[in-house]
Homo-oligomer: A and B are copies of this chain.
C-alpha cells in the first residue's frame, strides 16, 4: 500500500477556471435533488454540452474524439463536476469505464464506432454485471452467450443495471463457457458490447426508494450479437472487467457524493451559528482534504501505468464512510427548523441515497475483504 501525491498538472488552474465558469452557468437550473444525485443523474443535454467542451474522453487520442490530455487533468474535470453536484450520469460510465475498456481492448472498428460518440456526450453506457443470483458473488453469473454462425446468441438477465433504460450500449459480462471443474470460477466469462436497441432485449426500470428509476432489469431473449461485439478476449472477461476497477474505485465519485451538502451546510451554519460546530466542520474538511489526496495519489499512479488496485479499494472504503457520514454530521449540527429549505431538501435526498454508497461498485464487505487479502490475511 503506497500513496504518493502527484504534482498538479500544468494548466490545471486554467482548466478549473473554465469549468467553474461553465458550471456556474449550468448549475442555475439544478434542484437540490439533482445536486444530491449528481453522477446518478442522467441529463443528455448537459452531457452533450460537456462533450462539446472536450471534457469527456479527454485523455483519449484525437483520432477517437479525445483531446490527449493527461489523466490528472481529467481528474480536475471530475472533481469540479462532482463538487458542483452536476448531473453527469449520461456520460459518466462511458468516460470512466466503457470508453477506456474499448480503447484498451476493443478492435479498431469498435474504437471508431464508439469512442467519438462517447466523447461528444452522445453515447451513453451502462454496465451489465449483477444478476439475480450474482450480486457480490459475480462468479455466479448465468447470462450466457453461445457461439452461433456469424456471432453470438445472448440469453439471460441482468439486474440493478444503472440507466440501462436510457443508455445506448451495455458492456455485459456474461458466460461464454462453463467454469472448468476445479478451476477458477471466474474462467469462461467474456465481455460484450451490446447495442440496447437490438431485438430480444427488454428493459424494465426498477424504481428506487427515492422515487427515481435509475435501476433496471434487462432481459436477453435470443439476442443476436455480431462476432465483432465481443470486447477483448473470449474467456478473459473477468480479468478485463477487474483491471478497470482501480479507475472505478478511486475517483472523486467515491468521496464527493455528499459534497454539495457540506458546502451548503457551511452557509447554513453561517446564517444560523451553532456553538461548537467548527470542530465537526473541521473534521469533515480535514477528511475531505485527506481523501482528495488519496484519490489524487491513485490518479497519479494510474497515470504512470501502475496498478493500484488495493489503493483504489482503500479510497472507496474510506470515501464511502465519509460520504455516508457527512449528511449525518450536518444533521447533528443543525435541526431541520434551523436549516434553509434547500439544504433540507438536499439532505432529504441524500439520506435516501447514502445507503447505496457502500453498495455500488462493490459492497463495503467485499472491498474490505479485498484489502484484507492484500495485507496477507487469508
Which A residues have a C-beta under 8 Å from some C-beta of B? 274-277, 279, 332
**What's the Cα separation between A332 and B275 when bound, in Å?**
14
List the number of copies, as a whole number: 2
- Of all chain B residues, the one with the shortest Cβ separation from A273 is B275
A332 to chain B, nearest CB (A): 8
A305 to chain B, nearest CB (A): 41
- Of all chain B residues, the one with the shortest Cβ separation from A332 is B279
Query: Can you sample 7 A-B contacts with CB below 8 Å?
Result: A274-B276, A275-B275, A275-B276, A276-B276, A276-B277, A276-B279, A279-B332
A71 to chain B, nearest CB (A): 39
- Of all chain B residues, the one with the shortest Cβ separation from A277 is B276
Q: Which residues of B contact A332 (CB under 8 A)?
A: 279
**What's the Cα separation between A279 and B332 when bound, in Å?**
9
A175 to chain B, nearest CB (A): 31
**What's the Cα separation between A291 and B356 when bound, in Å?**
32
A21 to chain B, nearest CB (A): 38
Q: Nearest 6 A-B pairs (CB), nearest first?
A: A276-B276, A275-B275, A275-B276, A274-B276, A276-B277, A279-B332
Q: Which residues of B contact A274 (CB under 8 A)?
A: 276
- Of all chain B residues, the one with the shortest Cβ separation from A276 is B276
A247 to chain B, nearest CB (A): 35
Q: Which residues of B contact A277 (CB under 8 A)?
A: 276
A362 to chain B, nearest CB (A): 23
Q: Which residues of B contact A276 (CB under 8 A)?
A: 274-277, 279
Counting chain B CB atoms within 10 Å of each CB, which of A275, A277, A332 scores highest?
Answer: A275
Q: Which residues of B contact A275 (CB under 8 A)?
A: 275-276
**What's the Cα separation between A185 and B287 when bound, in Å?**
48
- Of all chain B residues, the one with the shortest Cβ separation from A275 is B275
**What's the Cα separation between A277 and B280 when bound, in Å?**
12
**What's the Cα separation between A275 and B277 when bound, in Å?**
9
**What's the Cα separation between A277 and B275 when bound, in Å?**
9
A281 to chain B, nearest CB (A): 12
A188 to chain B, nearest CB (A): 33
Q: Which residues of B contact A279 (CB under 8 A)?
A: 276, 332
**What's the Cα separation between A276 and B279 when bound, in Å?**
10
- Of all chain B residues, the one with the shortest Cβ separation from A280 is B276
A9 to chain B, nearest CB (A): 38
A100 to chain B, nearest CB (A): 41
**What's the Cα separation between A352 and B306 when bound, in Å?**
42
